């Protein structure tokens, strides 16, 4: 017994190293396949506030550019509004809307690692919940993964765990949007059947199969495509509309019917 204790004491550093490494390796491997850790993420009080402080300072440098982008979007939306059958913003019946939109600022961006998470400055206090869709003026950005009182982390489309339903615009052929972690301007659309006629430059938009995003939110254009190894589905490279390295303002989308849809799907799956 004495010798065992002596042995442990002699190699205590090695044991300590082994133990701590084991713990962190378990966490690492888990983070590769499961959701982000609920307790340790950058939406928490300390990390969120540090990023918020830094974003408060650095956001001044991009104000002019950001302003132009927002005015351009307003211009586009005005054009759509005037050319549609709706009489004006006042005539929209807010009770019958399916989607609610909320704006937020990005306080931490990341696009260089294989699993990128983005932190935004809206949290539970403002009504943000898990699995809300996040878009920018140009296109899709990601899905809310964890929330704290004042902040939330977003799983970016540039995340190897991300899997979003997408389709080719004006058709009903849909596939899954994934990322191979090689280039932050290009994501991959898989599971599009071989018989679909494709052209480089076709627009890819979100599909109707998800309860997170509304249909027809722009994602990107087809950059190149080829058949996969089984030669029955396409692997399509999609160039994103968003410049993932330069994002300031984002919109959160809340589907008001989401709970109903999910409850219905759950009962159907159980039967």
Partner 1 sequence: MNSVIFLNGFRFILLILAQVLIFNTLNFMGFINPLVYVIFFYWYPIKANRAIFILVSFILGLTIDIFSDTLALHTVASLTVAYTRPLLMRFCFGVNYEFQNFSFKNTTPIQRLTFLGLLVFVHQVVFFSLEILSISHFVLILKKVFATGIVTLVLCALFSSLFSPRSE
Binding segment for partner 1 among 16-24, 91-99, 133-141, 210-218 (CB under 8 A)?
A: 16-24
Contact flags string 119-148 toward partner 1, x per CB under 8 A: x-----------------------------
* CA atoms of 113 and 36, how far apart (whole Å): 15
Residues 6+ apart with CB under 8 A from 157: 140, 141, 142, 164, 177, 179, 187, 219, 240
Query: Whose Cβ is closer to partner 1: residue 185's or residue 249's?
Result: 185
Contact flags string 211-250 toward partner 1, x per CB under 8 A: ----------------------------------x-----
Name the residue with tokens 């039967």.
Answer: 271
Determine, following the binding rule CB under 8 A, whether residue 24 of this chain makes contact with partner 1: yes
Query: Whose Cβ is closer to partner 1: residue 55's or residue 205's?
Result: 55
Contact 188, 180 (CB under 8 A): yes
Query: Whose Cβ is closer to partner 1: residue 36's or residue 206's?
Result: 36
Contact 55, 107 (CB under 8 A): yes
Determine, following the binding rule CB under 8 A, whether residue 163 of this chain makes contact with partner 1: no
Structural tokens at position 136: 């920018």
Among 41, 147, 206, 255, binds partner 1 (CB under 8 A): 41
DSSP 3-state of 254: strand
Name the residue with tokens 């330069």.
Answer: 246
CA atoms within 13 A on the CB side of 14: 5
Size of the site for partner 1 (CB under 8 A): 38
Name the residue with tokens 């809300």.
Answer: 132
Name the site residues for partner 1 (rule: CB under 8 A): 12-14, 16-17, 20-21, 24-25, 27-28, 31-32, 36-37, 40-42, 44, 47, 50-51, 54, 109-117, 119, 153, 181-182, 184, 245
């Amino acid at each position: 017994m004495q010798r065992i204790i002596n042995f442990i004491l002699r190699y205590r550093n090695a044991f300590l190293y082994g133990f701590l490494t084991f713990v962190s390796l378990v966490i690492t491997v888990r983070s590769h396949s499961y959701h982000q850790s609920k307790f340790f993420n950058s939406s928490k009080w300390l990390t969120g506030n540090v990023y918020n402080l830094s974003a408060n300072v650095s956001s001044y440098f991009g104000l002019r550019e950001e302003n132009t982008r927002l005015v351009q979007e307003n211009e586009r939306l005005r054009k759509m509004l005037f050319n549609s059958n709706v009489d004006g913003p006042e005539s929209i019946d807010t009770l019958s809307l399916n989607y609610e939109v909320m704006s937020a600022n990005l306080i931490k961006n990341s696009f260089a690692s294989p699993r990128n998470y983005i932190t935004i400055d809206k949290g539970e206090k403002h009504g943000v919940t898990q699995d809300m869709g996040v878009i920018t003026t140009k296109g899709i950005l990601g899905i809310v993964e964890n929330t704290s009182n004042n902040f939330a982390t977003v799983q970016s489309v540039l995340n190897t765990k991300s899997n979003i339903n997408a389709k080719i615009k004006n058709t009903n052929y849909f596939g899954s949007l994934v990322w191979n972690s090689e280039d932050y301007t290009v994501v991959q659309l898989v599971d599009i059947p071989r018989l679909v006629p494709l052209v480089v430059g076709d627009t890819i938009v979100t599909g109707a199969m998800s309860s997170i995003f509304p249909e027809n939110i722009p994602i990107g254009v087809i950059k190149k495509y080829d058949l996969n190894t089984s030669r029955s589905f396409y692997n399509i490279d999609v160039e994103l509309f968003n410049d993932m390295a330069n994002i300031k303002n984002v919109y959160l989308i809340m589907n008001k019917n989401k709970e109903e849809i999910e409850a219905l799907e759950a009962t159907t799956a159980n039967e």
